[in-house]
């Protein structure tokens, strides 16, 4: 007993010391976040580096770039970074919208040198003058205006990094843009939430037919990739955990259908995980229609081409379009400037150093760049880290030579970018997730409740700031105790 007591005291001291150390460090981080230090002003002797976009690639560059070496300007129509992997959770209230939004000015304000930000969209480029045309999409009353109707400004650059991502690809399907909901931006999540609750509330009226009620309660997801799968899973959880409590007369009539043109959902995952996902969806009464192509979307129904070639018309209340991406208009403008080298209409062709082919002093990364890698968030983030690291090093080495050509030197003094896969995760509903993770020369696959907790911890660690991690964790706790918010907004 005498021997055990000192050991227990030692263990107690270690635990208390660790807790106090963690609390002190967290408090310091919070204080530093709220009290940024003064910044250096723009230096006319430094070159101007313009970042287009605030997505995974551009924001990672901004976070890691040493602004003491450059005058940095950020141009984006949104003034925040969006943690897109958790966007499906926002559509049903599992996570609050602002919990996964990180204002870029918080990042900018903590840089060594001040960073200028323009909340605008780049609409044109003059490569010969190194000049960008940017358009503000908000009028003097705070209302959003259409592209081409906003105030324009011209800015110059010495170096340009294009990270504007992509936009939703409708594949020319009639009616999609008019009647479907997308799931790429926070505005899309808000629209889905409103449309979902409108359909449910409309179905609660007594003076409608059973056929109309069934139509309103038929929720359709087009696209069997991770985004479509995760939204279907979140929608199922919302149905089971919340609708059964507050809309008991309607919950049993809600149907969820996922439509995929390919033979399987989640084609990038291991077959065992595909089978596990499909069996889980079957248990959760989510219908999967594979080898089925959407040919037209109307306001209350959509037409599909079945595997046998026949066509069917299916009524729906909510249709979420979660398929591929295509290039942004400004990417097409850049391609036109360098048509001889830019021969792929899907985006900007880049070399192994992320330099836009045919262009001088221009890099591209993320979904807008064709680099031989899949358009994934982790690819864009790794590209951002790689590019910022090498720009920092080259700029420091040539601090006494402001006219040094970093665009050319990056090939001479750097190794090419190489993507290292960190694996794939997806939430599939019912507190289950799947994981396909690299382990030396093979992959480890897992699925179930334990993987769901790994999925949660992985995303918490990947969030851009302590603030985001705290907000998301608190949202999960609130949902556990109080359920999801079923209000329309």
Tell me what pLDDT residue 142 has.
63
% of the chain residues with pLDDT over 90: 84
Mean pLDDT within 11-22: 85
pLDDT of 2 above 70: no
Summary mean pLDDT of the chain: 93
Residue whose entry in the numeric block shows the structure tokens 């985004």: 227
Closest CA relative to residue 406, chosen from 60, 44, 46, 154? 46
| Residue 234 contacts residue 244 (beta carbons within 8 Å) | no
Tell me what pLDDT residue 1 has.
47
412 vs 33 pLDDT, higher one: 412
28 vs 193 pLDDT, higher one: 193
| CA–CA separation, 305 and 289 (whole Å) | 11
Mean pLDDT within 103-129: 94
Tell me what pLDDT residue 140 has.
60
pLDDT digits (tens, 9 = 90+) for 316-340: 999 999 998 999 999 999 999 999 9
pLDDT of 3 above 60: no
Tell me what pLDDT residue 95 has.
97
Reading phi first (left if > 0) and then psi (alpha if -120 to 50, else beta), residue 372 is in left
pLDDT of 225 above 60: yes
Tokens representing 401? 């030579």
pLDDT of 446 above 60: yes
147 vs 198 pLDDT, higher one: 198
Distances (CA, A) of 38 to 111, 178, 329, 379: 9, 48, 37, 33
Tell me what pLDDT residue 4 has.
60
Identify the burial level of 478 via C-beta atoms within 10 angstroms of its C-beta, where 0-12 means exposed, 13-18 middle and 19 or more buried: middle
Task: List % helix, strand, coil for the chain (3-state, nearest 5).
Answer: 40, 25, 35
Mean pLDDT within 212-235: 97
Q: Name the CA radius of gyration of the chain, rounded.
A: 25
pLDDT digits (tens, 9 = 90+) for 238-262: 999 999 999 999 999 999 999 999 9
pLDDT digits (tens, 9 = 90+) for 34-83: 778 889 999 999 999 999 999 999 999 999 999 999 999 999 999 999 99
Place 219 in a pLDDT band, splitting at 50, 70 and 90.
very high
Q: Is 76 helix (H, G, I), strand (E, B) or coil?
A: strand
| CA–CA separation, 196 and 293 (whole Å) | 23
pLDDT of 200 above 90: yes
pLDDT digits (tens, 9 = 90+) for 391-442: 999 999 998 898 899 999 999 999 999 999 999 999 999 999 999 999 888 8
Q: Report helix angle 377-397 to 56-64, nearest 10.
A: 30
Name the helix (H) or strand (E) containing 223.
none
Mean pLDDT within 201-225: 97
Place 139 in a pLDDT band, splitting at 50, 70 and 90.
low
Place 141 in a pLDDT band, splitting at 50, 70 and 90.
low
| CA–CA separation, 333 and 125 (whole Å) | 7
């Amino acid at each position: 007993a005498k021997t055990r007591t000192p050991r227990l005291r030692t263990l107690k001291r270690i635990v208390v010391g660790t807790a106090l150390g963690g609390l002190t460090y967290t408090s310091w981080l919070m204080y530093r976040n709220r009290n940024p230090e003064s910044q250096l002003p723009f230096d006319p002797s430094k070159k101007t580096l313009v970042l287009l976009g605030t997505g995974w690639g551009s924001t990672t560059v901004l976070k890691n770039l040493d602004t003491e070496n450059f005058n940095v300007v950020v141009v984006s129509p949104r003034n925040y970074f969006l943690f897109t992997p958790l966007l499906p959770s926002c559509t049903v209230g599992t996570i609050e919208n602002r919990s996964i939004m990180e204002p870029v000015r918080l990042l900018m304000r903590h840089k060594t040198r001040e960073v200028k930000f323009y909340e605008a969209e780049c609409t044109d480029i003059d490569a010969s003058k190194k000049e960008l045309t940017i358009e503000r999409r908000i009028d003097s009353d705070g209302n959003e205006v259409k592209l081409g109707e906003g105030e324009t400004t011209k800015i110059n650059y010495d170096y340009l990094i294009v990270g504007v991502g992509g936009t939703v690809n409708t594949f020319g399907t009639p009616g999609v843009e008019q009647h479907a909901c997308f799931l790429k931006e926070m505005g899309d999540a808000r629209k889905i939430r409103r449309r979902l609750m409108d359909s449910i509330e409309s179905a609660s009226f007594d003076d409608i037919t059973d056929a109309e009620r069934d139509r309103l309660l038929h929720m359709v997801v087009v696209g069997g990739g991770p985004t479509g799968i995760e939204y279907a899973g979140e929608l199922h959880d919302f149905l089971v955990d919340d609708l059964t409590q507050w809309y008991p007369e309607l919950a049993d009539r809600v149907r969820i259908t996922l439509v995929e043109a390919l033979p399987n959902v989640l084609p990038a995952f291991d077959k065992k995980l595909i089978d596990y996902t499909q069996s889980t969806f079957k248990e959760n009464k989510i219908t999967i229609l594979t080898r089925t192509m959407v040919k037209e979307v109307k306001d209350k129904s959509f037409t599909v081409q079945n595997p046998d070639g026949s066509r069917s018309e299916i009524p729906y209340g909510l249709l979420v379009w979660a398929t591929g991406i295509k290039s942004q208009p400004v990417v097409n403008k850049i391609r036109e400037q360098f048509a001889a080298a830019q021969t792929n209409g899907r985006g900007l062709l880049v070399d192994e150093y992320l330099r836009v082919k045919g262009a001088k002093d221009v890099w591209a990364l993320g979904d807008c760049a064709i680099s031989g890698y899949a358009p994934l968030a982790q690819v864009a983030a790794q590209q951002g880290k790689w590019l910022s690291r090498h720009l920092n090093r080259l700029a420091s080495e040539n601090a006494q030579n402001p006219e040094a050509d970093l665009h050319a030197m990056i090939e001479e003094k750097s190794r090419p970018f190489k993507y290292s896969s960190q694996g794939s995760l997806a939430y599939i509903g019912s507190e289950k997730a799947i994981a396909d993770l690299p382990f030396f020369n093979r992959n480890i696959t897992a699925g179930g409740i334990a993987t769901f907790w790994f999925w949660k911890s992985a995303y918490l660690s990947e969030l851009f700031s302590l603030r985001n991690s705290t907000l998301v964790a608190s949202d999960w706790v609130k949902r556990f105790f109080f359920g999801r918010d079923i209000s329309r907004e």
